[in-house]
Structure 1
Amino acid sequence: MTVVTDGAVLRDALGLLKDREEVAERLLEASVKHSFDPDTELDWDAPPAPDKWFWPPELVSLYDTPLWRRMPEEQRMDLARHEAASLASLGIWFEIILMQLLVRHIYDMPVTSAHVQYALTEIGDETRHSKMFARLIRTSGTPTYAVTRLHHNMARVMKTISTTPGSFASTLLGEEILDWMQRLTFPDERVQPLVRGVTRIHVVEEARHVRYAREELRRQMVTAPAWQRRLVGVTSGQSAQVFALSFVNPKVYTDVGLDRAEAVAQVRASGHRREVMQTGAKRLTDFLDDVGVLRGAGRRMWRSSGLLA
């Protein structure tokens, strides 16, 4: 998509965008029909199946590395359990950031508009998701894997000063890669029923969030001034680098009895892991490229994150 500011061309570009209120009304209707209460929808009291994974093995960071091939099956499954908890912890951190970004986005808007009403609905969804992920961590018997203090404080600044297009680009980064992995997880019969249930709920409800963020980012990239479009490229590239580093907390390797330095080195050298992360990000990076985010320094930062081939 070519982003321009010429008046006539801008009017044509705006005509291609879906009406903000129309999109929100459809998402509100879908929310009524397809929303879930994890507390009653899932069987939290069922004991875990001893022969099932907490995360598909192919999505575990060390899969198909020399270290993975030396690990006994029990240790591989334990690593999958801890990595699932690490992803759930990352999801909670991200969704708390997202809720603040959404509140900032609608602060000056008419509260009766469908666009604002859907944002409030999404905040309700994200509240349930955060509680659901926290309950999954407790049920899994693992620690909570917090991001580093540096990344925690970087996010504190970002969510306070982020521009609107920057907020929605970061929203999609946190949603779409995990969504791709969860779409592989919930139908996988090798995986624990509770994990499959959690990912199914998240995939169904997250599809609406992705649609809302994509439509708004496309709209913002058409109407934003040039400096803001350049800035969103850089800030999204920074977010991609932080996200890639935070995806699996390296403490999981220590907690399952592995040498952390060796495990981290093998993950970084793994062609399989690189392919998984780039495949998971491809739908997003194609979209960001289309709307003009992946330009210049921002594109180089995305490449350095390992999420863009």
Structure 2
Amino acid sequence: MTVTPTSRVDIGPDEVSARLLDSAARLSRNAMTEIDWSAPMDPTKYGCSPEWSTLYGTPYWDELSEDQRVTLTRHEFASIMSIGIWFEMMLQAVVIRDQYLGDYHTPEFQFALTEIADECRHSIMFARASEKMVGTSYKPHPRLGRFGKLFMATVSDEVAYTGILVAEEILDVFQRGCMRDERVLPFIRTVNEIHVLEESRHMKFAREQVRVAMREVGPIRRRWSAFYIALSASYIFTSLVRPQAYRDAGLDHHRAIAEMRRNHHFQSMVRTGCAHLMEFLDEVGLLTPAAAKIYRKVHML
């Protein structure tokens, strides 16, 4: 697949970063002071919109009581936030390594550090939210944890920043779908609003880094990068709701996983939510046939 021509004006990382620095100075929020973490939770409120539950629309969902559905969505979203912490820690490591010995006076370097600071606050916010909502957190499978260490240590340029972009876009899809829903716990809606607002800056930064990196990428490297990014994205996406989350919600996790994998409603929601991401990957030449096959397998395309 060839890179799709675009009429986009060539702006550049420093110009984009300067705008993002200004936005961060004006609009950044602090969940530690904005959210009343001691406030009681309404037992009728969900952890995410029911329609974004991995089991919504399945026979298993139909069998659950309303209390069970509320409990399920809380554990599902606690798992999603926990996996979000995992890949945000990878993001921080990759950005720090990329900016090591950078030009400290440039907006690009300074926004990179701003992004790292944001991600630290987001991870703490997710940790506090998971603890408040369900009293626990979740980790990726140990094999995926080892893969993450390899990813952090080896990636650079277009793979690093597209990997960052894809991971953040996946989480963004879930949060945008839930942040205005009054059926969801109010403090979780605030968590979603803060993360969506601040991640929009991070994703703009990552997209610009990818566009610049792709100028120097030849056809063989482009195909390999596209495949590696898609493979990494599939691992992240399929790990968002851990089996333990279903068990902690009181469900038969074997049945829950089986029905989640056959859930056409959830698959359709994901495909729709990832449409913008797929358009960008196609624009920069990273939606190759091999990559597209992987994205289709996990219903992101």
Normalising by structure 1, what TM-score? 0.93
Alignment partner for residue 241 of structure 1, among 234, 255, 270? 234
Equivalent position of 1:293 in the other structure:
286
Q: Please show how residues 78-89 of structure 1 align to structure 2 within 5 Å.
A: 78-89=71-82
- Equivalent of residue 60 in structure 2, options 39, 59, 67: 67
Instruction: Tell me which residue corresponds to 1:134.
Output: 127
For residue 216 of structure 1, the aligned residue among 209, 215, 222 is: 209
Q: Name which of 40, 43, 61 aligns with 2:33.
A: 40
Contact 1:17 1:219 in 2 (8 A): no
Is 2:139 aligned against 1:146?
A: yes
Return the offset for 1:14.
Answer: 11
The 5 A counterparts of 1:1-309 are 2-3=2-3, 16-308=9-301
| Separation of aligned partners in 2, 1:220 and 1:159 | 18
How far 1:168 sits from its partner (Å)? 1.0
Alignment partner, residue 8 of structure 1: none
Q: Distance in 1 between matches of 2:172 and 2:40?
A: 26
The 3-state SS of whatever aligns with 1:223 is: coil
Matching residue's letter, 1:167: A
- Letter of the structure 2 residue corresponding to residue 34 of structure 1: L
Please report how far the alpha carbon of residue 154 of structure 1 lies from its aligned counterpart in structure 2 after TM superposition. 0.5
Give the conservation status (yes or no) of the 8 Å contact 1:3–1:221. no
Deviation, 1:2, is 4.3
> 1:80-124, CA deviations, whole angstroms, 9 ceiling, x for partnerless residues?
110111011011001000001111221242111110000000000
Check 1:108–1:13 CA distance in 2 against 1; reply closer, same or farther (3 A cut): farther
Distance 1:39 1:231, change over 3 A: same
Could you say which residue in structure 2 is the equivalent of 1:9? none
- Say if 1:82 and 1:142, in contact at 8 Å, map to a contact too: no
| 1:142 Cα deviation from its structure 2 partner | 3.2
In 2, Cα distance between the equivalents of 1:202 and 1:265? 31
* Gapped regions of structure 1 (runs ≥ 5): 5-11
Shift of 1:239: 1.0
Work out the CA distance in 1 between the residues paired with 2:132 and 2:174: 21
- Paired with 2:265 and 2:62, the residues of 1 have a C-alpha distance of 14
How many residues are paired up?
A: 301
Partner Cα distance (2:265, 2:111) in 1? 38
Give the 3-state SS of the residue equivalent to 2:18 in structure 1.
helix
Deviation of 1:226 after TM superposition, in Å, equals: 3.3
**What do residues 240-290 of structure 1 show as CA deviations (whole Å, max 9, x unaligned)?**
220222021111111122211111111111110111121221111111011
Query: 1:14 touches 1:222 (CA, 8 Å); kept in 2?
Result: no
Aligned-pair CA distance for 1:13: 8.2
* Backbone CA RMSD of aligned residues: 1.8
The Cα of 1:231 is off from its aligned counterpart by 2.0
Rounded Cα–Cα distance in structure 2 between residues aligned with 1:14 and 1:64:
42
Matching residue's letter, 2:128: R
Percent identity between the aligned chains?
Answer: 38
Range that drifts further, 188-197 or 292-301: 292-301
